Amino acid sequence: MEPVFNEGLMAAKVVLITGAASGIGAAATELLLREGAAVMMADCDVARGMALAEALRGFGGQLAFIEADVTSESAVAGMVARTVELFGVLDAAFNNAGIPGGYSTAVSCTNEEWEQVNNINMRSIWLCMKHQIPEMLKTGGGSIVNMASRAGDSANLNMFTYAATKHGVVGMTRSAALDFATQNVLVNALLPGLTQTPMLDAKLALHICENDYLNAVNIRCDGGFRVPYSFDVGVNSTTRQ
């Protein structure tokens, strides 16, 4: 199938998005389509993913949906292979799938919670990069955006497992960026805070994908969460811990 592109920032680019059926992933799918990309949506929620794909038909570039469990290597390999089969190449990827996990500490975290949150938030991103990067190398490079969080370089109370996995995403991003920089594969991470405006984070993901310079960068989008509150910045500091 020959992809049909609109003119835009991502014209003639093929992008794979995980966790694409809702939230930031859904917003990124819409935005990339409007900017002319061919998008492969991947999600484990088939009903929601298919409904969104149908709603976005005609928004711009070509669109396909695939069911994928990103904790399974065979599923991830198949997801990447299907993207290349449909669209010919893989230019960029937004590895967005993730879960918050339970509200626990290092003591109260269960083995089951640890395994689940690690598999979805961290192992999945390793598996995605493991299979995406070789395809990008075949065509001279590409761009990967990994979804981290403000918890990737800070922490919140009772979010032990989540913070651990998001720190891991930041570390993997930096390491992969260094390993493949000379082969023109750019790897960056997005670190949003509590997201009330998914389209804003999606726009950041878009611009990271289309850039040909940023590499190994962790981009925060959290409303200045780490800014000291010794002065009035228009935010009620009593609500921040």
The Cβ of residue 173 has, within 10 Å, a number of other Cβ atoms equal to 27
Per-residue pLDDT, 111: 95
What are the residues whose beta carbons fall under 8 Å from the beta carbon of 58, sequence distance 6 or more? none
Per-residue pLDDT, 239: 38
pTM of the model: 0.82
Per-residue pLDDT, 45: 95
The CATH T-level fold of domain 14-239 is: Rossmann fold (3.40.50)
**pLDDT digit string (tens) for 83-137?**
999 999 999 999 999 988 878 999 999 999 999 999 999 999 999 999 999 999 9
The mean of the pLDDT values for the chain is 82
**pLDDT digit string (tens) for 5-55?**
445 778 889 999 999 999 889 999 999 998 899 999 999 999 999 999 999
Supply the DSSP symbol for 157: T
Neighbour-count burial for 60-70, b at 16+ CB within 10 Å, e otherwise: bbbbbbbebbb
**Residue 206: both structure tokens together:** 């878009």
222 vs 215: which has the higher pLDDT: 215
Is 103 designated active site?
A: no
Per-residue pLDDT, 193: 64
pLDDT at 240 over 50: no
Per-residue pLDDT, 59: 79
Question: Given 103, 162, 213, 229, which residue is catalytic?
Answer: 162
Burial of 232 (0-12, 13-18, 19+ CB in 10 A): exposed
What are the residues whose beta carbons fall under 8 Å from the beta carbon of 63, sequence distance 6 or more? 29, 33, 38, 39, 41, 53, 56, 57
Closest listed residue to residue 33, CA positions, set 63, 3, 12: 63
